[in-house]
Amino acid sequence: MKVKELFLVFLTFSQMLPISYADSELDSLSLEDLMEVKVKVATGTEKPLREAPGIISVITEKEIKDLGARDLMEILQTVPGITFAQDVLGNISIVMRGIWAQEGRILLLIDGLEMNERSYGTLLLSNHYSAEHIKRIEIIRGPGSAIYGGFAELGVINITTKDGADIKGAGASSTYSRTSNDFARWANSFMFGQKKDDLDFSVKGSFNSSNFSDRNYTDENGASASLSDGNSKITGEFLNLRGRYKSLYANYIKDNYLTENIILWGDLENTPGSGVIRKPVPKSYLTDVYQIGFQDNVTDDLNLHLFYQNKVQYPYLQPDTKREIEYTNSWRRKVERKVYGARGLYHLNKNLNVVGGVEISEDLSTSLNRLTYTGDPDVFGHNNSNTAKINNTAVFTQLDFTSEFANFTAGLRHDQPSIANSTMVPRIGVTKVVGPAHMKALYAKAFRAPVIENISLNEDIKPELTTTGEVEFGYQFNRDISWTLNFFSTKVSNAIVYSYDTVLSEENYNNYDYVKTLGMETEVNLKHNIHDIKVNYSTYKVDSLNAIPYETSKDSSALIGAPKHKVFIKDTLALMENFSMTPSLTFLSRTNSYEWNGATFSEARLESQFIANLFANYKDVFFQGLDLGAGVNNILNTNIYYAQPYVKEGDYRAGAYPGQSREYILRVGYSKEF
C-alpha cells in the first residue's frame, strides 16, 4: 500500500476515535530540570545532560512545533556550529564547525537506524526527514566514532520518534506553503500507535512535494535560469514502523526521496554556451532499512543488546520504471549493508560501568548497468567487477567511573575492514558538576572509513583521522536561566575530498594532508513568564590548512563555503493558554564562494544573511486535538544561498545555490487519543 493511501486510511479512522489530550512531560520541564534530563547519545548509557561526556544539544518536540519547523534541516538551523552548503547536484547538507561534513562525517540515526547512504556516505537534507513525528533529537557537536564508528567523525544526530505509548491513538497533519512567485511545499503526515500491556507499536508516515527554490541560478558560463516551476523539485515518501514486545523489538523505515534539478556539476547546459537549459534530471535515493533485536537486563547488573540490521539503498539512481537501461551514462548502483551486533552494559559497582560490543558488517554494491556510455562494461574501478564488497569487524569498549571528585569516561574502538587500513580511536572525558556549575574536558580521536565509491575511484584512498579537544563550562543561574560556553579544536588528517575533472569528465577522491579549525560556541536559555528564549553564537577560524579544495583566496582564516560566524535567536511567546508566537532570527556572516559577476566567474565574498521567521500556533481550535499554525519564513526576503564548500583547479565550479524567497506557511494538525 502506498504511503498516501495509508495516510487517507488513518485520517478516516482517526475521526471515529474518542477525544483526549495530554502534554509531553519533557516539554513542561523547567530549564533547571532540562539540564538534568538524561541523554544516551554520548556514551550509549543514560547520563544527565550536564554530566554527559560530549558537547550536546537537545531539541524537544515543543521547540520544533513552536518554530514551525517542517524538516530536519530547519531544526538544525537552531544549533550552534552547524551551517549548510551544496554538493555536485545542488543537494544541501551540513557544514560542522566550518568543515564540509556531507560525505561520511556526520551520522544520522532515526530510532537507531542508520540513514546515511553507503555508496558515498552522503546525507541529503533538502526538504528531507519530516519533523512531524519527532519526539526528541540529541546532537553530538563533536566526534562519536569511539561508539558509533566511521560515519560519526564530526558529529552524531540521534532522532527519537514517537512510539505507541507517546501517540496513544492517531493523528494527521498537512502543511502548505508558497512564495509570491511559485508553489513552495505541500507536506502531509500521519501516525497511529498504541501500547497494550507489554506490546508497543506505531505506524508513522509522510509524503511531500516541493520546489526548493524560486530564485535564479547562474553557472560558470553565465547561463541563468529560474529554479521554480519544477526546476528544483523534491518529492518524498517516508514510512516508519516500530514494534516492541517485552525484550524483543523490530524497526523498519522506508525512505523514498527523489529530486529533479536542472543543475549538474554546477552547470545548467549539457553543452556549455549552447543557450539551451537542460531539462530537470531526476535522481532517486531509496532506502529500505530494518532492525530486529533483543534488549533486556539478563541479570541485575548486565544489560544485553543483540541485533541484526539490513539496509538496501539505490543512491543517486536514474529512475528507470520500465527496466530498459543497459547502455547509459546514468549512474545506477545498488548497495546492501548487513550488520550483526552485540552490546553489553555491566554495572561492576555503583561507581563503575563497563560498556562493550562487537559489530560485524558487510557492504555489497552491485552495478545495475551492463555498459557505460562509452560502451565499456560498467565495473568498479578497484576490482574490474560489477560487484564490490567491504567487510568490517569492529570491537569497542568504554568505562564510566563516577566519584566525588569528578566523572571519568575512557573508551576505545578498533575497526578492521577488508579493504583500506584498520583504525583505532580512543576517547577520554572528564566531567564535574559543582552546584549550579558544570565543566567538561574532552579528548577524542575519530575516523571516516572509506566507503565503496571512495575505493572504486581511488584504490589507494586512506581513512581520515580526526583529533578533537573540547572544553565546556555551564552555569544554571536559577530555574529560569542557563548558560553554556565551549571551545573546540578539530584537526582532520588525510582529508578525503571529492573532485570532478571537467576536461576528462571523471570523478575522483583524493587524500589531502590536513585541515584544522579552532572555535567557540555559547548559548543562553531563558524561560520566564510568557517568554521561552534561546540565543546562541558560534564561530570558527582556520588554524592550519594543507588541503587545496578547502582554501579560499579571500580570507586565510576561513574555509570556502563556510561562514565564520553564526547567531541564532528565538523567543516563544505564550500569549494565551493555547496560543503562542515564535519570532526567530538567524545571522550568517559573509561567505566565500564563486559567482558570475556579469563578465567572469570568480571567487567572491558574498553578503551576510539575515533570515527572519515568524510562526504562530493555536492549539485546540474549536475542539480538543485540532491545531492550526501559520507563519512567514524569510520575512526580510534575504537572498539565502548555499555555497560550494570544496573547489580545486580544473574541478567543476558551482555558483551559490539560491534558497527560497519569502514563504507563507499554513499548517493544520489533528490528533486523538484512545
DSSP 419-485: SS--EEEEEEEEEEEETTEEEEEEEEEEEE---HHHHHH-TT---EEEEEEEEEEEEE-SSSEEEEE
Q: Distance between CA atoms of 509 and 548, rounded to whole angstroms? A: 13
What was the pLDDT predicted at 36? 65
For 122-139, write each residue's pLDDT tens digit.
999 999 999 999 999 999
Q: Taking Cα atoms as reference points, which of 5, 149, 143, 140 lies closest to residue 59?
A: 140
**CB-facing half-sphere around the CA of 438: CA atoms within 13 A:** 24
3-state SS of 244-273?
A: EECCEEEEEEEEEEEEEECCECCECECCCC
Q: Give whole-number Cα distances, 428 to 38, 55, 152, 158, in Å.
A: 20, 13, 16, 21
What was the pLDDT predicted at 27? 56
What was the pLDDT predicted at 651? 78
Specify which residues 398 forms β-bridges with.
355, 411
Q: Taking Cα atoms as reference points, which of 565, 660, 576, 667 lies closest to residue 228?
A: 660
The count of other CB atoms within 10 Å of the CB of residue 265 is: 18
CATH class of 3-673: mainly beta
Output the nine-digit C-alpha cell for 438.
558544570
Q: Taking Cα atoms as reference points, which of 571, 615, 607, 601 lies closest to residue 587?
A: 607
For 239-257, write each residue's pLDDT tens digit.
999 999 999 999 999 999 9
3-state SS of 156-219?
A: EEEEEECCHHHHCEEEEEEEEEEECCCEEEEEEEEEEEEEECCEEEEEEEEEEEEECCCCEEEC
What was the pLDDT predicted at 330? 63
Show the low-confidence residues of the chain (pLDDT under 70).
1-36, 41-42, 320-330, 373-374
Report how far Cα 650 is from the mean position of its chain's Cα atoms.
30
Query: Cβ distance 37 to 107 under 8 Å?
Result: no
Query: Cβ distance 470 to 487 under 8 Å?
Result: yes
What was the pLDDT predicted at 28? 55
Query: Cβ distance 496 to 509 under 8 Å?
Result: yes
Judge if pTM exceeds 0.85.
yes
Output the nine-digit C-alpha cell for 300.
541485575
84: CB partners within 8 A, 6+ apart: 73, 77, 92, 93, 94, 95, 125, 642
| For the chain, domain boundaries | 3-673
Query: Cβ distance 78 to 59 under 8 Å?
Result: yes
